[in-house]
Structure 1
Amino acid sequence: MKKYFVVAAAALALAGQARADQMAQGKELFLSGAKPIACAVCHTLEDAGSAGAIGPNLDELKPAQEQILKVMLEGVGAMPSFAQTMSEEERAAVAAYVSSVAGQ
């Protein structure tokens, strides 16, 4: 039984580190790494220190992860699609980051 808890604790620690890594990657992409244009250029998001005024204020919108992924794939209005310029993993990192910090 004790062995089970050690394994479970190790698995939780690894999952927590993976989540932290994804959040760090998402923030970096939001700030400067997203192509064709960084999200921070157009969007306001307090956690990222961005104050863009072209796109919606993400702190007010508080979009869900699925909504962010859809918009990143398809584009909307002045926002381009990121389907060809960012990997699925990169888009998922941005969506996870934004959905977890918007409006906090």
Structure 2
Amino acid sequence: MLPALMLSVTGHAVADSLAQQGRAVFTQEAQPSCTVCHTLSDAGSTGTIGPNLDELKPSEERVRQAVTGGVGIMPAFGESLTKDQIAAVAHYVATVSGAGD
């Protein structure tokens, strides 16, 4: 049986605590918030500065590298987020965007 806490906005059920932590990083903890620049349906974000993550469907590793070191105009968050926060947001984005679908 799946845990009682479950997010299901885009059809991808996010039942694990790591993804729930990653959603908090994506929407609140990262400064600036990832929602400012990125579209991700599960997070309710419609940013247009960075890529649409629903369309890109990046892998966890790709998100981890981008968040840690930055990409293009995206700043690096390796100094402002913990490794655990980065792992959580990478897992969350890959899970809800459908990476590997």
TM-score by length of 1: 0.77
| Counterpart in the other structure of 2:25 | 29
Greater per-residue helix proportion: 1
| Counterpart in the other structure of 1:53 | 48
* Post-superposition CA distance 1:10-59 (Å, at most 9, x none): xxx8xxxxx72211110011011113x11111000001110000000000
Aligned pairs, how many?
Answer: 86
* Post-superposition CA distance 1:51-81 (Å, at most 9, x none): 0000000000000000001111110111000
Alignment of 1:52-91 (within 5 A): 52-91=47-86
| Counterpart in the other structure of 2:6 | none
For 1:66 and 1:51, locate their aligned partners in 2 and report how far apart those are by CA, in whole Å: 23
Does structure 1 residue 95 correspond to structure 2 residue 64?
no
Tell me which stretches of 4 or more aligned residues in structure 1 moved more than 4 Å. none
| Counterpart in the other structure of 2:12 | none
**SS of the counterpart of 2:16?**
helix
Gaps of 5+ in 2: 4-14
Sequence identity of aligned pairs in percent? 47
For 2:96 and 2:22, locate their aligned partners in 1 and report how far apart those are by CA, in whole Å: 11
For 2:96 and 2:17, locate their aligned partners in 1 and report how far apart those are by CA, in whole Å: 15
